[in-house]
Amino acid sequence: MPGEIPLIGEKFPEMEVVTDYGKIKLPDYFKGKWFVLFSHPADFTPVCTTEFVAFSLRYEDFKKLNTELIGLSVDSNYSHIKWKEWIEKEIGVKVPFPIIADPQGFVAKKLGLLHAESATHTVRAVFIVDDKGIIRAILYYPLELGRLIDEILRMVLALQLSDKYGRAIPANWPHNEIIGDNLIVPPPATYAEAMERMKKFNCKDWWFCWEDKATSEEKALAESFLERAAKKPEKLLGE
């Protein structure tokens, strides 16, 4: 049974939110699309500013994965609008997605983003929601640590590939230390199936089998996210 705070595998809670794009009903606003809702402690803070710039620079990559972005903090719409204006003027990057204004903390409380009773700022969280409105992943980061946006892209891609092929994704994919860029075959349901698996797939044992399912284009896309995350920018923005 769903609890007060939504969990992985549950439907994203229905709510109407106020944003700098107007009122939006979630999750219906993104019907047929995946979306990433990410909360930040406050506008006009250094770590959050770096994150919003990074999300904005990768917005087209998210769109290619049929995924939209929406931010959230306890700040007002006026603050969001001014902050976006500042980022575009001072950093040279336009923020192309809405931000939820939640000054009373109603949305944050519903999503479990105020982790202490005395908290006045939302934690740095990420909800990855699929095209059916189901929460597929939830991430939490401390105030002092900014998110690695390319890893969030890799997660969206990997979850979509898991749905597409009915396979699990190994650690560090597509650079797994045991099976490389292959995908893991789910466990067998019967004894007979277990005995047949080593004839059908590459296996270490009947419970650990894999196959080459993802296309070269899908693997290359995951590679590009990893490469960008490891690459030092040629020039710093806003200089």
48 catalytic? Reply is: yes
Distance of alpha carbon 232 from alpha carbon 132, whole angstroms: 37
pLDDT in tens, 86-119: 999 999 999 999 999 999 989 998 998 876 654 5
Distance of alpha carbon 163 from alpha carbon 179, whole angstroms: 20
DSSP per-residue codes, 61-75 = HHHHTTEEEEEEESS
Q: Say which of 26, 48, 149, 157 is annotated catalytic.
A: 48
Angle formed at CA 14 by CA 29 and CA 102, multiple of 5 degrees: 85
The radius of gyration of the chain from alpha carbons, rounded to an integer in Å, stands at 20
Q: Which domains does the chain have, with CATH numbers?
A: 15-146 (3.40.30.10), 161-230 (3.30.1020.10)
Sign of CA dihedral 221, 223, 229, 231: negative
User: Which one has a higher pLDDT value, 113 or 16?
Assistant: 16
Distance of alpha carbon 24 from alpha carbon 124, whole angstroms: 21
Average pLDDT over residues 32-52: 95
Q: Provide the β-strand partners of residue 208.
A: 205
User: Which one has a higher pLDDT value, 215 or 109?
Assistant: 215
pLDDT category of residue 121 using cuts at 50, 70 and 90 = confident
pLDDT category of residue 235 using cuts at 50, 70 and 90 = confident
